[in-house]
Structure 1
Amino acid sequence: MKKTILLAEFGTARWADYAPAAGALEGELADAFPGWSVRRAFASSRLAAALTEQGHPTPHLPAALAELAAAGGALAVLPTHLAAGGEYDGLAAQLSALGPRLSALAVARPLLSSGEDCIQVARALLEGILLEEGEGLVLMAHGSRAAGMGPYRPLAAALPQRVALGAMVNGGPEAAGRQLLRAGYRRCALAPLLVCAGGHARREMAGPGPDSWLSRLRGMGLAVRPLHQGLAELPALRALYCRHLAEALAAAGLDSV
């Protein structure tokens, strides 16, 4: 029986951004689940085409799912979503419709699915993002059009006061900056809470314009040190993704080898 792990992502346009983050996750999945082939697919057709043009073939997610369903076999899907929301729910609906055409289907839950997940992610962030003495940290999440920062609040509760979260969608850095200032911090690192730190995120986070998070936080009186690593560059977070996939395989009665 053919067994395929599909890493389902929104996508990023540059292989140089993808390789050290989600590319490293692909390699870790191949090592952890040796009986399975590992593929990637992007929800964005534009970003899938961009990576393909750079010599790294990447299908659009609907096309990849249709191909895998036609081939049959077992499919294990690892979405890189941090939290449940519209995009994850839409993917789950697509997969539910494909289920009868597959011999087996397993779908991993998002990274922040439980209180214990949030504790593990918080620990990985604190261990993996090296802060200087007397420095706080602002994390830039994507956010949700419907719920804003809501999906990230359990993670925020698991983090110390020196770490503040903000969202690109229906949010911004101001609340995070105020949290650090109230806690007595005048310096902070600024990092993306994103699997890959692609070009759009880099520009919104640390671009030279007045609307970037870097400029806005500096305008609040904070000295800001931007960092550009994606979450999947942190070994502990890659391990958590692998754990979620292993749990999904076990729930579906599938072996990891």
Structure 2
Amino acid sequence: MKKVLISIVSMTLALSMLAGCGTAGSKKNDNKDETKTTATNTKKSDKKGILVISFGTSYADTRKVTIEAVEEKVKNTFKDYEVKRAFTSKIIRKKLKERDNIIVDSPEEALSKMQKEGFSEIYVQPLHIMPGIEYDEVKEVVDKFNDKKAFDKLVLGRPLLYRAEDYKIAADAFKKQLPKLNKDQAVAIMGHGTEHPSNSSYALFQYALEEKGMGNILVGTVEGYPTVDNVVRRLKEKGIKEVTLMPFMLVAGDHANNDMAGDEKDSWKNVLKSNGFKVNTYIHGLGENEDIREIYIQHIKDSIDGNPLKEEK
């Protein structure tokens, strides 16, 4: 009987040791699998994207034919890239969310999401007209993400007007949307204007227009210099009788519809009429101009080619 008990105990101990070895082996294999999974999850993605940034607009009709039209052209041109959108205007984003339930990211929100989604290469293309306050703010966001090395490559492109050559190219593109003018007819274009030093861009664009033979195209701004009063004075000096008003902005939004062509006493339309001019209005944003869209496409190509600011090499 004693021998039988000893045999049973011995067998039990042997089976326990075998089970322990099996469990240890299983845990070891599980650890290997876990390590393998972790390595797979931390492997860098090769996702490439283009973030198109504009001020934004709450006018759905002009958004479709300007901002969305540019974005669609970007998608069709750069098929290997995923195209995202961001608006810089907090007011516009808030209005779209509350009124239309449309959610649009800020530049920082968009880049944060792209980082979480595993993008490694991103080109940021602003649809702003010049390197003013909005552009500077976008640059600060891009610099912030570059400082923390959030992406393998994050490049900020230039706005419509940046280098002197950009002004000449933009003048040629703008010419395509002008009506035929007699000597007593002119076009007055309304830029936004800014307190930023880049407000001088409007003077440079005026020079570019005149160099291209468009002396009867006069540049003014709604929130900067030159003002509509400066435009009126120059129109009178030139002996102009009839004026067509055009927005020099990506979209034909609030400024174009109200400050330029509205029925208020101080709108450009009524200021010109009160000064004896016959007035026509052209309420279309620059984003509707196919040649302007092509300029933004070229700026993205410059970024991909490694020269986003078109610096001389």
TM-score w.r.t. length of structure 1: 0.91
1: CA distance, partners of 2:167 / 2:205 = 5
1:220 aligns with 2:275: yes
What are the residue-to-residue correspondences of 1:146-157 with 2, within 5 Å? 146-147=196-197, 149-157=199-207
Q: Number of aligned residue pairs: give it.
A: 253
Q: What SS is found at the alignment partner of 1:251?
A: coil
Distance 1:210 1:201 in 2: 15
1:2 and 2:57 aligned: no
Moved more, 161-170 or 144-153: 144-153
* Post-superposition CA distance 1:110-145 (Å, at most 9, x none): 111122111111111111232454421011001111
**RMSD (CA atoms):** 2.0
Residue number among 184, 198, 210 corresponding to 2:253 in the alignment: 198
User: Aligned ranges for residues 1-257 of structure 1 at < 5 Å?
Assistant: 1-52=46-97, 54=100, 57-71=103-117, 72-99=119-146, 100-133=149-182, 134-147=184-197, 149-159=199-209, 160-171=214-225, 172-251=227-306
RCO greater where, 1 or 2, for CA within 8 Å and sep 6 or more?
1
CA contact (8 A) 2:130 2:198 kept: no
* Contact 1:106 1:252 (C-alpha < 8 Å) held by counterparts: no
Same amino acid, percent of matched pairs: 26
- Say whether the 8 Å CA contact 2:107–2:138 is kept in structure 1: no
Distance 1:148 1:36 in 2: 31
Q: More displaced, 204-213 or 81-90?
A: 81-90
SS at match of 1:128: coil
Instruction: Tell me which moved more, 139-148 or 238-247.
Output: 139-148
Which has the higher Rg, Structure 1 or Structure 2? 2
Structure 1's unaligned 5+ residue stretches are none
Q: Which runs of 4+ in 1 moved over 6 A?
A: none
| Shift in Å, 1:62 | 2.6
Cα distance, 1:252 vs. partner? Answer: 6.8
Q: Is the contact made by 1:15 and 1:51 (CA closer than 8 Å) also made in structure 2? A: no
Gaps of 5+ in 2: 1-45, 309-313
